């Protein structure tokens, strides 16, 4: 005998467009993960002062640690921050983004003095980027083989 399928409860919260939410409610709840107590602070609602103070304090401590690590030479640069000027935007796909970062790191290590695509036609840029990507791919294949 198969187990009776649980009847799925629908969230039904009023949405910003005026309709009602069609997402299945969480177990033991009448609302979905986006509309129940786990959903977090709604937009436009001020952050609680103690939460804000804790967030700022945590960030300050992290920055202190990073500055110490940088001064001690453990890290090259404090993570995060703005992307370098002249670089193409990062892809929305995680894998492609990862590959873009790898390529950009290798390109910066090679100290390509020329700025991205300066004085080149689109075709030349594509050709150069392809060559770079192939070399990076070859390098990573070699690394993975371990020869």
| Interaction site with Zn ion (CB under 5 A) | 11, 13, 21, 23, 32, 34-35
What is the smallest separation between the CB atom of 5 and Zn ion, expressed in angstroms?
Answer: 21
Show the tokens assigned to 73: 């030479």
DSSP for 86-129, written as a single string? TPPPPPSSHHHHHHHHHHHHHHHHTT--S-TTTT--HHHHHHHH
What is the smallest separation between the CB atom of 107 and Zn ion, expressed in angstroms?
Answer: 45
H or E stretch covering 25? none
Is the CB of 34 or the CB of 106 nearer to Zn ion? 34
Only one residue has tokens 């995060």, namely: 80
What is the smallest separation between the CB atom of 24 and Zn ion, expressed in angstroms?
Answer: 9
What is the smallest separation between the CB atom of 40 and Zn ion, expressed in angstroms?
Answer: 13
Contact (CB, 8 A) for 21 and 15:
yes
């Amino acid at each position: 005998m198969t187990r009776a399928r649980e009847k799925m409860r629908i969230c039904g919260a009023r949405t910003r467009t005026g309709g009602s939410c069609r997402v299945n409610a969480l177990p033991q709840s009448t609302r979905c993960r986006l509309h129940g107590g786990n959903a977090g602070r709604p937009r436009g609602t001020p952050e609680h002062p103690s939460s804000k103070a804790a967030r700022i304090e945590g960030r300050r401590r992290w920055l202190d640690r990073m500055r110490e690590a940088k001064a001690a030479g453990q890290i090259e640069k404090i993570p995060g921050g703005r992307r370098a000027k002249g670089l193409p935007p990062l892809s929305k796909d995680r894998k492609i983004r990862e590959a873009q970062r790898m390529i950009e790191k290798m390109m910066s290590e090679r100290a390509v003095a020329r700025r991205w695509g300066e004085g080149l036609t689109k075709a030349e840029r594509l050709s150069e980027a392809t060559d770079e990507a192939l070399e990076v791919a070859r390098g990573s294949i070699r690394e993975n083989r371990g020869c």
